[in-house]
Amino acid sequence: MPELSHSTTGSSTTGSTRGWTGASAILFDLDGVLTPTAIVHERAWQELFDGYLQDVPEADGYRESDYFDHIDGKPRFDGVRDFLASRSIVLPEGPADDDPANNTVHGLGNRKNKVFNDIVEAGGVAPYEGSVRFLEAAQALGLKVAVVSSSRNAPAVLQAAGLAHHFPVVVDGVVAAAAGLPGKPSPATYDYAAQLLDLPSEECVVVEDAVSGVQAGNAGTFHSVIGVDRGAGRQTLLDAGATLVVEDLNELL
């Protein structure tokens, strides 16, 4: 198996350690790794909770740090629950398809999803150039690839970004729910992607920008966990279990 070289900038490993030796597949998170849609998610979450908290004046307002502290990388409804818990707010769950106008866990989650989709449809999605170069280089070397995303919008985002044809295997929030898999920081969705690629997890590299995603990779038996620092912080990702951290996947070429 040919191996990709990588820069050791931001790495917790030594310069002689090659993070790709023996790897047969790359398992990519989507938002913040392949596409800048993590920024869109941040905006959608802020719009959601800014609006909701107007009717809860006793609670602290939404802060930028809340996204990374309570939401980033998690399944949508877990993000709602964890943020509300940070404000000591408990809401009824509501049905999974609850009306976005309702102040329930599922209603708020569905409201956030509508805001996200409206933003994507209005502005489109352009993937990170460095990520596309890395993806194409990995495939040229014969590595298999998959997307593992907590988002239920992953197929639509991949299509909008022009990347869908690269990924025969996509494990998103819909697939995880149908298979009864817990979301990140559990490694279950990444393990499932490895199974679909017919590979042992030990031969699969996890690429993540979210703390919960890095924790998921670290909790499994994966070949390595590459952290991409899009705002979570290099040391934070290393502390969560990243093997090495880069600011752009272009650094791995």
Give the residue numbers marked as catalytic.
29, 31
Enter the tokens of residue 124.
Answer: 């489109």
Residue type, 21: T
Torsion of CA 41, 35, 172, 53, to 10 degrees: 0
Cβ distance 213 to 184 under 8 Å?
yes
Give the angle 73-110-181 at the CA atoms, nearest 5°.
Answer: 45
Residue 220 phi/psi, 5-degree rounding, is -95, -165
Contact in structure between 211 and 236 (CB atoms under 8 Å):
yes
Which class for 245: exposed (0-12), middle (13-18), buried (19 or more C-beta within 10 A)? buried
The one-character DSSP state at 67 is: I
3-state secondary structure of 129: helix
DSSP letter for 177, please.
H
